[in-house]
Amino acid sequence: MTNHWVDFKNTDIFLIMGSNPAANHPISFKWIMEAVEKRGAKIICVDPRFTQSAARADLYAPIRSGTDIAFLGGMIKYIIDNKLYFSEYVKHYTNASFLVNPALKLPGQNNGVFSGLKDGKYEKDTWSYQTDAEGVVKKDPTLSDPNCVFQLLKKHYSRYTPELVSRITGTPQEKLIEVYKLYASTGKPNKAGVELYAMGWTQHTVGVQNIRTMAIIQLLLGNMGIAGGGVAAMRGESNVQGSTDQGLLFHIWPGYLGAPTASMKTLAEFNDKRTPKTKEAKALNWWKNFPKYSASFLRSMYGANATIEEAYQLMPKLDDGGNYSWLMIFDQMYKEKFTGFFAWGMNPACSGAHSNKVRQGLGKLDWLVNVNLFDNETCSFWRGPGMDPEKIKTEVFMLPCAASIEKEGSIANSGRVQQWRYKAINPPGEAKPDGDIMSEMLFRIKALYAKHGGPLSQAIAKLTWPYGKKKGDEFHYDPRLVARELNGVFLEEKTLENPTKKGEFKTFKKGDVVPTFAWLQDDGSTSSGCWIYCGSVSDKNILGMRRGQADATGLGLYPEWAWAWPVNRRILYNGASVDPEGKPWDPSRAVIKWDGEKWTGDVPDGAGNPGSGRPPFIMKPDGVASLYGPGLADGPFPEHYEPLECPVEKNLMSPQKNNPTIKRFDKPGIGSDLDVYSGVDSCDPRFPFVGTTYRVSEHWQTGVLTRWCPWLAEMQPGMFVEMSEELAKQRGIKNGDKCVVSSARGEVECAAIVTPRFKPVVVDGNDIHQVGFPWHYGWITTKDRKYDKSDKKAEVFTFGDSANLLTPTIGDPNTMIPESKTFMVNVVKKGVK
Amino acid sequence: MNVSRRGFLKISGAVAAVSGLGISLKPITAHAKELKIKYAEETTTICPYCSLGCSIIVSARDGKVINTEGDPDSPINRGALCSKGGSIYQMVNNENRLGKPLYRAPFAKEWKEVEWDWALDKIAENVKKSRDASFKKTNAKGELVNRCEGIASVGSAAMDLEECFTYQKFLRGLGLVYIEHQARI
């Protein structure tokens, strides 16, 4: 989230689209309703289903799943046509004035694709900016040049008329206009609008562009950086913000440092390629500090055991253009490319798209290690439905771990607030904290390499691990020591000029904590595991433990409650909440204020001294936010494409039906025999309905924890399929009937929930039915499976298996997040063919 | 009136102050609550489920959690919890939790309980064997890559921040590149 949960109280208009916070982030509604009650805020909800959030909304609009860009593209057109944008903000704080290469072709003039498409990939030469002799981007501050970003934006979305958008989305035209009008009312300096999304936007083959479309709207309306504004990416797990911050993804090191590829032969080359450059004289370009963060990270890996250059050489490198993401892992696993696999604190047999492929893949391993609290469908995959254990070679280790209140450590919420958790009791039996388990594992691996050697054994031997002590036979991992390493320390005595006060010098001793990341060094004299967490630990304490209640601004920033990255800033981009002279756009909700000498309020972000002319989006090389985004794989502006599996013959927007840059797993040489789709080239009568997945309040993710908690299992006991009264009638299904939902990849038994919450949407004159089901279930907690004598039995059984048995192996071209929110299914009453 | 819940419990004689707290404990309920958690050790935790970060007060006595409730001092949830957060009591008081490592040998039909030492030694041997067999010093182009291609990892946002950092250190130290977790799905 750019802002944070409490900040919802400052909002005037909520747009809930791509999420259902009332059910999935229930306590967020405490602040949403406070805004409704105290400010008279209005809630808009756009969703294929009339959700719990819709039930609280002032305005609900139905939509066909997977058509959000069409819906929002229409809003961009409405905002521009009716001049409802915040023109000063757009002019000063975005790239609206930048002039683009006149050779760029937009999809409207190029058969639905941007210029440069070749073999499913874009060559981006024509997406570039016009530059002068010094390489500075040419601009037109009047925003009237036909090649300036603003005019291109206007031209691109001129095709998104209410008539056409309505035919695509199934949203009635008058509803579209109502939504556009209400949300566009936040384009005034004294109005704030926020968008709330979750997996409803990411799990699409146009996932990134869904969010880009909204970012464009928020920039047009001047909603970024202000109190009550922003884009709220509501993360699905308590620490998925933190785990991403810590680089548990193939493409990033901790702190969002792009991982090195094979062509970057030295640390200098790596730094050079990863450090963005700018010719804008007044832009701060914060990422110019990349080499300080990479050096400090390498020190946290290898300390004094290697120079930073040696440490860089020891680190694994990706192939240039290589993809090692989730869908690829299970594809490679199914093709027997791995012998070993860790599923640590995860249950991919239920959470992975196309779960059947995942489950088959697990059987092709030599060994599998699963760490979890309870028995689950992943560690026990070899005895699941359709499996014959006598034919499965995989050796499996199930290691029991401590729950969150049986150990200590911190997690980061969606608002980037790092909060400490304390240990209340010991874990049950011999279960151990994850930190202890991985430490013990590493020591044993180190010992084997010390004894027998092996390829690049120094990469393991030299790895530092100063995170605890041995007590008797056991090592106890101390997260407080790790917290200090994440923050960073000086490795040698160093006298440095204060980066924020010229002429003031400070001397640090070896072992002193680094005060903030502005003090980190590129010469190896500092160590910091994750630069964005630099500042989270002081000489005296871990700031995530703080419980202060002060709220000087009254905006709910609570700067002394725990700690937020970066540098305890609670609202990102807040430099854009003031005008170029430093005056808050909205004095009644001033996030930062200039008191004549310094900024007060939140920790300022990108705000130079008033009148300095520094553009505030300092994480962008040019200092301005991107209406035009040439960095993405699938286009500098979002364009509507149909989901891969969809209920329509063609894309009404253009001749290009699907996102042209997606990687299809049903093509020769990619994917496997299990990767089949339906309804791609033409409608497939076997699977006539749009299927979508969602969650309920009482369960969490695959239910790997919550299905074992009797209160929760009792409240939401099993798999269901929610459908409209119209569809139920057509299929002869009554509320509560056992049904079978199937897709090209599998089937799941569900109880029918027949409700008016789903209504058929009229898409280009045709009734389209959409059905939805939760993905929390799995066979391990069901009653009818085979139980061995030592097996644990849930106190309250659930029924049904994972909805991911239905979902396809297909992902967004930028992120490879699977398209689990839109795919084609059939629903029949059980026993009916 | 600005009184934290702890402060309130200390001055619980002054139950009239309750209305100023924004919570509606009637004096009798407050008294009963106090009895229930008397002699208990209180710690705070953050809910392990969604990403709000709701604070929870955990009361433990004799090594057992006897009560969990929303923490009114947290500006994020001000004492409120949803159905999941309200049920974490059952995550720790749950007979189905696993307390011993389990092992399933190739082609075996059942789990077997094993000792940690044995399991960890065997895992370490497996890791070494897989790593040694699949370690690539260079790629097809002959560029230095120093990576282990035969092992993959998924997980985990269910760990603490500190554990996430050390886990990536563990994996990248071994040379893994197939490193993914919940954020991708």
DSSP category for residue A232:
E
Q: What is the dihedral of CA B154, B158, B163, B167, to 10 degrees?
A: 0
Tokens of residue B56, six digits: 């929870």
Q: Say which residue the tokens 């609009």 belong to.
A: A61
C-alpha distance from A639 to closest chain B C-alpha (Å): 23
The packing angle between helices A479-487 and B161-174, to 10°, is 80
Answer for the pair A307, A335: CB distance below 8 angstroms, yes or no. Answer: no
Residues of A in contact with B64 (CB under 8 A): 425
- Given a cut of 50, whether residue B14 has pLDDT beyond it is no
pLDDT at B111: 98
pLDDT above 70: residue A800: yes
Determine the pLDDT at residue A160: 98
pLDDT at B32: 65
Measured in angstroms, the CA of A574 and the nearest CA of chain B are apart by 20
Residues, chain B, total? 185
Q: Which of B99, B137, B147 sits opposite A428 (nearest CB)?
A: B99
Nearest-neighbour CA in chain A from B69: distance (Å): 13
Which amino acid does the sequence have at A383?
R
Tokens read off for A224: 């970024």
| Sequence letter at residue A282 | K
Residue to mutate among B82, B144, B163, B181, with most A CBs inside 10 A, is B163
Q: Do B179 and A337 touch (CB under 8 A)?
A: no
Q: Is the Cβ pair A403, B175 closer than 8 Å?
A: no
Average pLDDT over residues A448-455: 98
Q: Which residues of A fall within a CB distance of 8 Å from B142? A: none
Interface test with B, best of A3, A9, A208, A248 (most B CBs within 10 A): A248
Report which residue type is found at A23: A
Chosen from B114, B121, B160 to mutate, greatest number of chain A CBs within 10 A: B160
- Token pair 């705070």 is found at B44
Query: Does the distance separating the beta carbons of B164 and A345 come in below 8 Å?
Result: no
Q: What is the pLDDT of residues A389-431, one digit of tens each?
A: 999 999 999 999 999 999 999 999 999 999 999 999 999 999 9
Quote the tokens at residue A93.
């704080």
Element (H, E) at A715: helix A710-715
> Which of A318, A392, A442 lies nearest to residue B107, judging by beta carbons?
A392
Pairwise CB contact (< 8 Å): B124 & A444:
yes
The set of residues, in sequence order, having a beta carbon less than 8 Å from that of A445 and lying 6+ positions away, is A460, B124, B127, B128, B174
The helix (H) or strand (E) run that includes residue B122 is helix B116-134
For residue A686, the 8-state DSSP code is T
Residue A324 has pLDDT above 60, yes or no: yes
pLDDT of residue B20: 46
**Identity of the residue in A240, A710, A820 whose CB atom sits nearest the CB atom of B90:** A710
Q: What is the rounded CA–CA span in Å between residue A132 and residue A128?
A: 13
Q: What is the per-residue pLDDT for A45?
A: 98
CB contact under 8 A, A239 and B124: no
Question: Residue B91: phi, psi to the nearest 5?
Answer: -75, -30
d(CA A513, CA A29): 39
Sequence letter at residue B132 = D
Q: What is the DSSP string of A274-332?
A: HS-----TT---GGGGHHHHHHHHHHHHHGGGS-HHHHHHHS--BPTT----HHHHHHH
Angstrom distance (rounded) from CA A340 to CA A367: 5
Percent helix / strand / coil, chain B, rounded to 5 = 35, 20, 40
User: Hey, what are B13's tokens?
Assistant: 């004689």
> Which chain A residue is nearest to residue B153, measuring alpha carbons?
A342
| Helix intervals (H) in A162-304 | 162-169, 173-184, 199-202, 207-220, 240-245, 267-274, 290-302
Measured in whole angstroms, the distance separating CA A584 from the mean position of its chain's CA atoms is 30
Q: Identify the H or E element spanning A476.
A: strand A474-477
Average pLDDT of A581-600?
96
Taking the CA atoms of residue A382, residue A386, residue A391 and residue A397 in that order, the dihedral angle to the nearest 10 degrees is 0
pLDDT 10s digits, A487-529: 999 999 999 999 989 999 999 999 999 999 999 999 999 999 9
Torsion of CA B133, B134, B138, B140, to 10 degrees: 120
Beta bridge partners of A358: none
In chain A, residues with a C-beta closer than 8 Å to the C-beta of B80 are 27, 30
Q: How close B131 comes to chain A (CA, Å)?
A: 8
> Residue B33's pLDDT is what?
64
B114 to chain A: closest CA residue: A397
Phi and psi of B29, rounded to 5°? -65, -45
Across the interface, whether the CB atoms of A344 and B159 are under 8 A apart is answered: yes
Residues 6 or more apart in contact with residue A436 via CB below 8 angstroms: A474, A475, A476, A477
The reported pTM is 0.96
Q: Does position B5 have pLDDT exceeding 50, yes or no? A: no
| B contacts of A234 (beta carbons < 8 Å) | 50-51
Helix, coil or strand: residue B85: helix
pLDDT in tens, A34-82: 999 999 999 999 999 999 999 999 999 999 999 999 999 999 999 999 9
User: A459 near A453, Cβ under 8 Å?
Assistant: no
Taking CA–CA distances from A815, the nearest residue in chain B reads B184
Q: How many CB atoms lie within 10 A of CB B121?
A: 16
Helix and strand numbers (H, E) in chain A are 22, 31
CA dist., res. A212 & res. A233, Å (int): 12
Closest in A337, A346, A423 to B154, CB measured: A346
DSSP state of B28: H
CA distance B133 to B126: 11
Host H or E run for residue A774: strand A770-774
Of A711, A697, A704, A666, nearest to A808 by C-alpha is A666
**Pairing status of strand A193-197 against strand A231-233:** parallel
Distance from CA of A810 to the nearest CA of B (A): 11
How far is residue A417's CA from residue A363's CA, in Å, rounded to a whole number? 40
Rg (CA), chain B: 24
Q: How far is CA A684 from CA A260, A646, A677, A744, A826, in A?
A: 43, 9, 10, 10, 10
* pLDDT at site A472: 86
Residue range B15-29, pLDDT digits in tens: 344 444 455 556 666
pLDDT at B29 (0 to 100)? 65
A6: nearest CB among B4, B76, B162: B76
pLDDT of B9 above 50: no
Q: What tens digit of pLDDT does each residue of A750-769 get?
A: 999 999 999 999 999 999 99
Asked if the Cβ–Cβ distance from A239 to B90 is below 8 Å, we say no
Q: What is the pLDDT of residue A41?
A: 98
- B156-175 pLDDT tens trace: 999 999 999 999 999 999 99
Query: What average pLDDT does range A461-482 have in this prediction?
Result: 94
Say whether pLDDT at A350 is over 70: yes
The Cα B167–Cα A439 span in angstroms is 9
Residue burial A81-98, b: 16+ Cβ < 10 Å; e: rest: eeebbbeebbbbbbbbbb
Cα-Cα end-to-end distance for chain A: 46
Strand locations in A562-672 (E): 563-564, 592-594, 599-601
How far from A187 is each of A58, A217, A557, CA to CA, in Å? 19, 9, 23
Mean pLDDT across B81-95: 97
> For helices A267-274 and A290-302, what crossing angle results, to 10°?
140
With beta carbons under 8 A apart, name residues in chain A contacting B121: 444
How close is the nearest chain B Cα to the Cα of A384, in Å? 11
C-alpha to C-alpha distances, A408 to A465, A544, B59, nearest whole angstrom:
18, 12, 15
Q: What percent of chain A has pLDDT over 70?
A: 100
> Would you state the structure tokens that stand for residue A357, as one six-digit string?
């492929």
Record: contact A332-B131, CB cut-off 8 A: no
Answer yes or no: is pLDDT of B11 > 50.
Answer: no
pLDDT at A547: 98
Residue with tokens 């002429």: A503
DSSP A654: -
Cα separation, A147 vs A126, in Å, equals 12
User: If you count residue pairs, one on A and one on B, with CB atoms under 8 Å apart, how many are there?
Assistant: 502
Cβ atoms of A777 and A802 within 8 Å: the answer is yes
- Cβ of B99 and A429 within 8 Å? yes
CA dihedral (A719, A723, A729, A735) in degrees, to 10, reads 40
Residue B1 confidence class, pLDDT cut points 50, 70, 90: very low
Cβ contacts of B85 on chain A, cutoff 8 Å: 27
Q: Which of B51, B114, B170 to mutate to test the interface with A (most CBs of A within 10 A)?
A: B51
Do A449 and B128 make contact, defined as CB atoms within 8 angstroms?
yes
Biggest alpha carbon–alpha carbon distance for chain A: 81
Burial per residue of A133-146, b for 16 or more beta-carbon CB atoms within 10 angstroms, e otherwise: eeeebebbeebebe
Residues in chain A: 833
Q: What is the pLDDT of residue B18?
A: 41
Q: Can you tell me whether residue A186 is helix, strand or coil?
A: helix
**Which value does ipTM take for this structure?**
0.97
Calculate the average pLDDT of chain A: 97
Q: Which of A430, A445, A701 has the CB atom closest to B128's CB atom? A: A445
The residue-averaged pLDDT of A174-200 equals 98
The pLDDT assigned to B25 comes to 54
Name the closest residue on chain B to residue A392, using Cα atoms: B107
Collect all residues of chain B within an 8 Å Cβ-Cβ radius of residue A438. Answer: 163, 166-167, 170
